[in-house]
Amino acid sequence: MALTWVARGLPVVPCSRTDKGALVPGFGRDASPEQLAPFSDVEQVRAWWSGRFKRAHVGLLTGRSTTGGRGLVVVDLDMPKGDARPLEGRWSGCAGGTDVLELLAREAGADWPETYSVLTPSGGMHLYFQQPTDGPLIGCATGEGPTAPHIGPMVDVRGIGGYVIAAGSYSTAQGRAYERASAPEVRPQPLPGWLLELLRPSAPAAAPPRPPAPVRALPTGSRAERYAAAALTGATEDVASALEGERNRRLFLAARKLGELHATAPTVLDETTVREQLLAATLAAGLRGGEREALRTIHSGWTKGLANPTTPKALLGGAA
């Protein structure tokens, strides 16, 4: 099994079957190409698993590929330890790392990311993604923390300098194997934009973003139309000023709010106008994932808003 992963361009390391610890050092975040070479050398790998480490787990080194392709970043969704207290605040109701990631996806207006997945012996899950092709590679993090790539409790991230146990390895301590959960044809996918935004540290402060395109001049003769125009302006300003890590969520919420108001002033809040204005604000703010990811988030929020129309209290008194 170890040689299979090497053939796919992923370095491997023998790991303990009891505590999962790496049995060979030298692959840390700052390791040189020379130091990393043994972990992808066919003869060395064969010697490890046919000799002293023949019963070892196969650990996959994350972060780098040896064939010129993209390395891995693995999101490790843990289960709580026996004495762990229930999560509170933002994470209240989350019973494990899977719930935490589902919450983060909902906040971003996104779906659960479909990619190569492995069930762990403890009941958790590993989600395998490709490292990004531009910008810095993703590193490692454990649980919740103040900076990326920490994204939430019971969610670990394994990138540069890390490793995960491969599917097929059997845990002696837990009496279960690491089992592939995704379909046979599924391979590690690129990180979706909303997740990449959470996993990358904020960039240094740059010049203020360009203001969004001005709202198209539209009839505002009624109270509802004036309210809708103000809501559109406020939504674009909110999206344009959003900080990194909040941009995708703000965009989804803005599109959903405008979708909810659509029926009150359809000539002002038509789909094309809303899409153009929010997209301009999003690109000005610098949302990771580019135009395609932004349009998908706008569509998702707009659709949810249309399904839940609302009339603000300020409009219940009639037109003026």
Residue 134 lies in a domain: yes
Confidence tier at 282 by pLDDT (50, 70, 90): confident
Please say if the pLDDT value at position 293 is more than 90. Answer: no
pLDDT value of residue 220: 54
Whether 212 is covered by a domain: the verdict is no
Q: Which residue has the higher pLDDT, 120 or 316?
A: 120
* 79 domain-assigned: yes
Shared domain for 22 and 166, answered yes or no, is yes
Together in a domain, 148 and 295: no
Q: Are residues 28 and 102 in the same domain?
A: yes
Is 207 within the bounds of a domain? no
141-155, 228-242, 278-292: lowest mean pLDDT where? Answer: 278-292
Average pLDDT rounded to a whole number, residues 59-69? 81
Q: Does the pLDDT at position 66 exceed 80?
A: no
β-strand pairing of 57-61 with 176-177:
unpaired
Select the more confidently predicted residue: 290 or 278.
278
Domain that holds residue 286: 223-315
Residues 182, 281 within the same domain: no
Global pTM exceeds 0.75: no
Same domain, 175 and 62: yes
Q: Is residue 210 part of a domain?
A: no
pLDDT, average across residues 216-231: 75
Residue 121 belongs to a domain: yes
The reply to whether 22 falls in a domain is yes
Based on the fold, state whether residues 135 and 232 are members of the same structural domain.
Answer: no
**Alpha-carbon dihedral 255, 273, 299, 296, rounded to 10 degrees:** -100
319 pLDDT higher than 60: no
Instruction: Tell me the range of 213-217, 237-241, 258-262 where mean pLDDT is highest.
Output: 258-262
Q: What pLDDT does residue 253 have? A: 93
| Higher pLDDT, residue 171 or 156 | 156
Asked if residue 100 is part of any domain, the answer here is yes
**Average pLDDT of every residue of the chain:** 87
| Residues above pLDDT 70, as percent of the chain | 90
Please say which residue of 183, 199, 215 terminates a domain. 199
Least confident of 12-16, 28-32, 184-188, 213-217: 213-217
Question: Does 64 share its domain with 195?
Answer: yes
The 10s digit of each residue's pLDDT in 182-218 is: 999 999 999 999 999 999 876 544 444 555 555 554 5
Q: What is the pLDDT of residues 161-176, one digit of tens each?
A: 999 999 998 887 778 8
- Do 17 and 74 belong to one domain? yes
* Residues 177 and 28 reside in one and the same domain: yes
User: What would the pLDDT profile of 74-84 be if each residue is shown by its tens digit?
Assistant: 999 999 987 88
Rank 6-10, 57-61, 78-82, 173-177 by mean pLDDT and report only the highest.
Answer: 57-61
pLDDT category at 154 given cuts 50, 70, 90 is very high
- The last residue of one of the domains, among 136, 164, 199, is 199
Claim to verify: residue 140 and residue 234 sit in the same structural domain = no
End of a domain among 133, 165, 199? 199
Provide the number of structural domains found in the chain: 2
Question: Does the pLDDT of residue 221 top 80, yes or no?
Answer: no
Tell me, yes or no, whether 194 and 249 share the same domain: no
Quote the pLDDT of residue 211. 52
Region 37-58 average pLDDT: 94
168 in the same domain as 50 = yes
